Amino acid sequence: MSKLIINGGNRLIGEAGIQGSKNSVLPILAATVLVKGESVIENCPLITDVEATVKILRYLGCKVKREGHTVTVDSTDADKYDIPDDLMREMRSSVVFLGAIIGRMGKASLSTPGGCEIGLRPIDLHLDSIQRFGVNIKEEYAKIEFETVKPLEGTNITLSFPSVGATENIILTACMAKGTTVIRNAAREPEISDLADFLNRCGAKISGTGEGTVVIEGVERLYPSKHRVIPDRIVAGTYMAAAAMTHGKIHISSVIPAHIAPVIPVFEEAGCDISIRGNDITLTAPPRLKSIKTVRTMPYPGFPTDMQAQIMAMTTVCHGTSVIIETIFESRYKHVSELLRFGAKIRVDGRMAVTEGIDKLTGASVISSDLRGGASLVLAGLAAQGKTAVDGVKFIDRGYENIEGVLASLGGSVTRSERNEADGAGEEQV
Ligand code: UD1
């Protein structure tokens, strides 16, 4: 069981390159199942969610090669249409294989997906949508069987909520369906456009991603191609928050500033200076951050729920009262009880969290129980006086490549301790 050990108080100053996007690479790797031949995906981050995705691809019968940040997938011989329970449980995004497997095999068998502990994550929108292509669905206990008796047929779907995963699954299924599919109230996240860019490069006909109505013309087959995954806007935002909380200055290179636009006003409200040049962003923090009136998480282009925990960590050291309202997930405040251990003052009432900023957090021993919540604890540790130990690093490793290395390169004192608790040597005294 590894832990991150942080000696807080250092100002983070320097330059950081940003890894490829987790939320892009997962559906793109799943999409390679639709391509008979060798897909080359570049800029794949070295994170455990990618490892879990590769395991699923191999189980399905794909030949997968990993060389650094490039993953090559040859799906020519893929012949399985199920995903075993243990692989489904490793991450919730495994549900995005559904559209790809059905598109390729005309049938699929999945158990209900796993993932972060951030509340109920139903897949009703995925199931309702897939059914509309003429797929029969049978649910038994935790197993779901999908079958087609005739070729998939394009359809019109209006989502009651712009679900990211459901939009991706519909796109994947629709690529191989006969005729036209139209998705209304589709999610507009940049990662969906990245998925469509990859598929279009393979010969798919997808238009309108990023605009709310997506139109997909089904095609006979997809051809192998090469694609570079977009930079991870959430990782960029996390490191910006780290610099802001430590009164530092960070220069982030090779990002797509438009993707980060929804979080920039929050940093500016806190008193940070942001300058954007081409694909580079520089954040310079003031000596004391100001509070943030209200941040409300919303589907893109609103403020991302995946930045809620990190911004909450930031508000704990802002001068004054800040309010956060989480509208996307009903139980995404698991980090609050851990942030309180640093001395933070946060009250939660339903979906609203109110923070009274304090001058200094104090290092603590904390446990992360989800990816972004875990990142928020690392940020608190960086800003705190004294030593912090963050347990549950496996959640952070799902989405951050070498987080300790990146933060250390900016001047943070962050190391990974791999000591074995069974030896009695694992308890870091803080
Ligand atoms: C994706 C992201 C995740 C991000 C989330 C919201 C990936 C791999 N993950 O997750 O990082 O936090 O978008 O931006 O891209 N819902 C239903 N029924 C469904 C599907 C969703 O009720 O069938 C609800 C969910 O419970 C949640 C909300 O819709 O409350 C948003 O979910 P969705 O957009 O589907 O998120 P994910 O695709 O799971």
What CATH number does the domain containing 63 carry?
3.65.10.10
In tens, the pLDDT along 264-302 reads 999 999 999 999 999 999 999 999 999 999 999 999 999
Residue 422, pLDDT above cutoff 50: no
Helix, strand, or coil (residue 374): helix
Which atom in ligand 1 lies closest to the alpha carbon of residue 328?
A: 30
Write down the mean pLDDT value for the chain: 94
pLDDT above 60 for 119 = no
> How many whole angstroms separate alpha carbon 283 and alpha carbon 277?
12
Q: Write down which residue in 179, 196, 228 finishes a domain.
A: 228
- The length of the chain, given as a count of residues: 430
- Decide: 223 in ligand 1 pocket, CB within 6 A: no
Q: What is the pLDDT of residues 305-343, one digit of tens each?
A: 999 999 999 999 999 999 999 999 988 999 999 999 999
96 and 114 fall within a common domain? yes
- Tell me, what's the pLDDT at 418? 87
Lowest-confidence region among 71-85, 254-268, 414-428: 414-428
Q: Same domain, yes or no, for 406 and 352? A: yes
Of 228, 246, 273, the residue at which a domain comes to its end is 228
pLDDT of 423 reads: 43
What integer is the mean pLDDT of 226-231? 98
Q: 223 and 248: one domain?
A: no
- How many angstroms separate the CA atoms of 210 and 198, rounded? 15
pLDDT at 121 over 80: no
Cα–Cα distance measured from residue 63 to residue 82, given in angstroms and rounded to the nearest whole number: 17
CA of 303 to the centre of ligand 1 (A): 14
CA 273 to chain centre: 26
Ranges of H-type helices in 32-73: 48-60
Among residues 179, 197, 228, the one where a domain terminates is: 228
The CB of 371 under 6 Å from ligand 1? The reply is no
Q: Which atom of ligand 1 is nearest to the CA of 191?
A: 15
| Terminal-to-terminal C-alpha distance of the chain | 17
Q: Measure 123 CA to ligand 1 centroid, in angstroms.
A: 9
CA 305 to ligand 1 centroid distance, Å: 10
Dihedral angle sign, alpha carbons of residues 241, 244, 248, 252: positive
Residue 164 CB–ligand 1 contact under 6 Å: yes
- Atom of ligand 1 lying closest to residue 165 CA: 38
Token match 């006909």: residue? 205
Q: Are residues 78 and 107 in the same domain?
A: yes
Same domain, residue pair 213 and 247: no
Ligand 1 neighbourhood includes 308 CB (under 6 angstroms)? no
Q: Looking at the structure, do residues 7 and 57 belong to the same domain, yes or no? A: no
> What pLDDT does residue 429 have?
47
Q: Which two tokens stand for residue 38?
A: 């060798």
Active-site entry in 44, 116, 272, 318:
116
pLDDT in tens, 370-395: 999 999 999 999 999 999 999 999 99
d(CA 278, CA 125): 38
Of 99-108, 119-128, 171-180, the range with the lowest mean pLDDT is 119-128
Q: Supply the range of the domain harboring residue 241.
A: 2-19+231-429
With beta carbons less than 8 A apart as the criterion, state whether 191 and 23 touch. yes
The overall pTM is greater than 0.75 = yes
Note whether 407 and 321 are same-domain residues. yes
pLDDT of residue 421: 47
pLDDT tens-digit map of 133-170: 999 999 887 789 999 989 999 999 999 999 999 999 99
Share of the chain above pLDDT 90, in %: 89
How many domains does one find in the chain?
A: 2
Q: Which two tokens stand for residue 381?
A: 């540790």
Q: How many helices (H) and strands (E) does the chain have?
A: 15, 23
Q: Indicate whether 311 and 404 sit together in one domain.
A: yes
Question: Is 274 in the same domain as 404?
Answer: yes
* 324/390 Cα distance (integer angstroms): 24
pLDDT at 210: 95
Q: What residue's CA is closest to ligand 1, atom 39? A: 165
Query: For residue 120, what pLDDT is reported?
Result: 53
Does 23 contact ligand 1 (Cβ within 6 A)? yes
Shared-domain flag, residues 263 and 197: no
Full strand arrangement of the beta sheet holding 249-253:
13-17, 249-253, 280-284, 273-277
Q: Is 241 in the pocket of ligand 1 (CB under 6 A)?
A: no
Task: Judge if the beta carbon of residue 144 lies within 6 A of ligand 1.
Answer: no
Q: Which is nearest to 346 in space by CA: 378, 394, 380, 304?
A: 380
**Both 207 and 253 in a single domain?**
no
List pLDDT tens digits, range 202-217.
Answer: 999 999 999 999 999 9
Residue of 163, 303, 306 with the most ligand 1 atoms within 8 Å of its CB, for mutation? 163
Q: Rounded to whole angstroms, what are the CA distances from 140 to 109, 143, 145?
A: 11, 5, 8
> For this structure, is 116 an active site residue?
yes
Q: Is 163 touching ligand 1 by the criterion CB < 6 Å?
A: yes
Q: Tokens 């709310």 identify what position?
A: 212
pLDDT digits (tens, 9 = 90+) for 4-23: 999 999 999 999 999 999 99
Residue 430, pLDDT > 60, answer no
On whether both 254 and 384 belong to a single domain, the answer is yes
Predicted pLDDT of residue 122 = 84
Retrieve residue 427's tokens: 């308890």
Model pLDDT, residue 28: 98
Amino acid at 159: L
Asked whether the CA dihedral 46, 52, 53, 54 is positive or negative, the reply is positive
